[in-house]
Structure 1
């Protein structure tokens, strides 16, 4: 339909062929600009472009560019594409729209640097140089452009990365499901502290030197955990979101992470709070052997209320454990190594361990979690503290 005549001085509508004047010498030429020396030359340029393209479809980089031009009244035949072989890019249409909205153009107009976007692809990819180099863009093939940005057309669109696929099933699949559920449902937080374990190691050596069954370090740490849970029962609990209740548990069923050839398993020591160091060592030994031989029963692997993770056996100092759903906390223990430490006001080499506690923030706040971890550290540093609860 015929367009209404614009009033004098009004901005020229998009698609009329009006475009910026020639830039100053030495500046890059604007993208998609038609160079009007005068009205007659502009008309000749338009006629020449139309004659060159003929009556066929105008080459554009994507249907989105054609739609952008149609919705804003831009005649694509009047644009000089800056892409390969005159291909009209999205940048060309956008520049024509900016030029039309500018209204009266200054004779010495300057061009701002081209925005940092991939050419015609609509993704924020930096473009080298302070301004857009039209000549370089014309020299770059469309295949080169799509090879840089994944999914930018051609065979690259929807391509699936190649590699070795390992099915998530068996023990690995069960671990993946449980850890993913823990991350989704539990708002966990972690706190940690370094502790001087020199006296704990000396106490263990003294116990084993006295004869009888050997006491494992894991058993001593488990005994410390049960004593700490008696003082801070909030961490021996679970959350029932359906009833919106925190369920504090009376019994401590202590799980411990064990790495096997079949994957990570968490056997559970039943009623750990009723066992002494010898009883805990014996049960840890039994469950560890069953894990190694693959003879753990479902009852051995379920029902835990708190987990102890001794990742120090892998030679690492610290970690942020993932809570074993539906429990509320997990204590992580790093390796025990000699480190400089201030002991009784003097610098000495001591056996130092890092302890970390991951806890469900729904069951307690940081004060409770910090109190639990500090009590564990005190017992590690001074095992005699446990005598108050034995």
Structure 2
């Protein structure tokens, strides 16, 4: 790793915003050291956070979307009863936070508002990633007070490129207009009510979108969101999305220019670590799913979204619409699959896609477990924002 990469990785351990330190390019396991110690003792632990969706449906057709390679999956939205039962099971085992992101647009589900309200009532943190197309005031008014963060998928800074990338039709700029209207409404509501929720926009950067790096950053400034983050694009082991990771390096200068547009209100953040790490990870074992689990919008529970596709059925843990999640968690299948992923029969470099959501955890937990650098407990400094979202 060269000096530039080292400097950027150290910097991205946390970005200071008006509301506190924001960690988007790393993990927060040091702040949950009791769970780490229980794992080291060989005890069965509950995930600290869960990444999931309430449906697999989505009105967008994003060219960078990993859900495109997660078929075939059921597209029936999760029922309200199943979603609330799931939260109650999470609470009973010690899950602290849920991210509504995964493989569908959760705002389309009838469970969306009840799920977030119930989570707030029982003390589980909720974050939400959305394209904001169907996120009008009637939903925003009810859910925003209960959300810890909202991250809006904004593929580009110009309306035509946004429509081209997210809707496959550059002339259909009404989707851009709708999203910007709803995002602006949320920003104003947050300020008017004095809410602590963090609002950001995210660009999933494929090399062919390089022309939109600066327009995206400027859009974040204009919207007045708390941050605008630019991240890599994950691909599966077959390269189905066609991501050429060697083409990220020529964009470094432009990415730094974007970061330099940051002001006191909006921070422009590049997820340098994953961009540097590229397609082939250094680890062979996946320890991360013990702490951060994923659930499809079909109800399928799996160690990683990269295993949602039916061809990975041996990694599937169950479906919480068919049996209670607490029973899935306590099953032998749950233990057997997670143990397989850290055995010498599994190699994350070749048996799964690139840069899973547990990537940061996999890197540091593998080092911690196999004689490398140990994860240390957090110091006495104040906690970062969104501490329960690993």
Give TM-score, length-normalised by structure 2: 0.22
Larger Rg: 1 or 2? 1
Taking structure 1 as the reference length, the TM-score comes to 0.22
